[in-house]
C-alpha cells in the first residue's frame, strides 16, 4: 500500500463520524439487496463477481478496509475515476453486507 493511501486511511480513522455514516452503521444490511445494488452500480468496473475489471478486485475488501473507510470511499468521490455514488443509508448497509460476502477464493 502506498504511503499516500495509508495516510488517507489513517486520516479517515481520525475523523468524527457524520450522521450518514452513523446511520449506516446502525442498520442491518441485506446481502441480497446489496448484491442488486452492486450489480447495478459497481459491477461495470469491479466485475460481476467482484474480481475486478476496470476497477480493482473487491474480493476480501471488507477484510482490508473498515466499514467506515468503505462508506467514505463510496460517497466522497475521493478515488477517481470511481464516480460518486450516494445510496441512502439502508442501501449502503446492504452494499456493505454484500461486500462482506466477497471472500478471496
How many Å apart are CA 101 and CA 104, to the nearest integer? 9
The mean per-residue pLDDT over the stretch 11-40 comes to 89
The mean per-residue pLDDT over the stretch 32-54 comes to 95
pTM over 0.85: no
Please tell us whether the domain made up of 20-99 is placed in CATH 1.10.760.10: yes
Q: Where are the domains of the chain?
A: 20-99
Using 50, 70 and 90 to split pLDDT, how confident is the model at 18? Answer: confident
Give the model confidence (pLDDT) of 71-86 as tens digits: 998 998 777 788 878 8
Angle at which helices 89-99 and 31-41 pack, to 10 degrees? 100
More confident residue, 8 or 92: 92
pLDDT value at residue 16: 73
Using 50, 70 and 90 to split pLDDT, how confident is the model at 9? Answer: low
The mean per-residue pLDDT over the stretch 78-99 comes to 91
Amino acid at each position: 500500500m502506498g504511503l499516500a493511501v495509508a495516510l488517507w486511511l489513517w486520516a479517515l480513522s481520525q475523523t468524527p463520524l457524520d450522521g450518514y455514516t452513523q446511520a449506516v452503521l446502525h442498520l442491518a444490511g441485506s446481502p441480497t439487496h446489496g448484491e442488486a445494488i452492486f450489480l447495478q452500480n459497481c459491477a461495470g468496473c469491479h466485475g460481476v463477481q467482484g474480481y475486478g475489471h476496470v476497477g480493482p478486485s473487491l474480493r476480501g475488501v471488507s477484510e482490508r478496509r473498515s466499514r467506515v473507510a468503505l462508506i467514505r470511499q463510496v460517497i466522497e468521490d475521493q478515488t477517481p475515476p470511481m464516480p460518486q455514488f450516494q445510496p441512502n443509508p439502508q442501501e449502503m448497509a446492504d452494499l456493505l453486507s454484500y461486500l462482506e460476502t466477497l471472500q478471496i477464493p
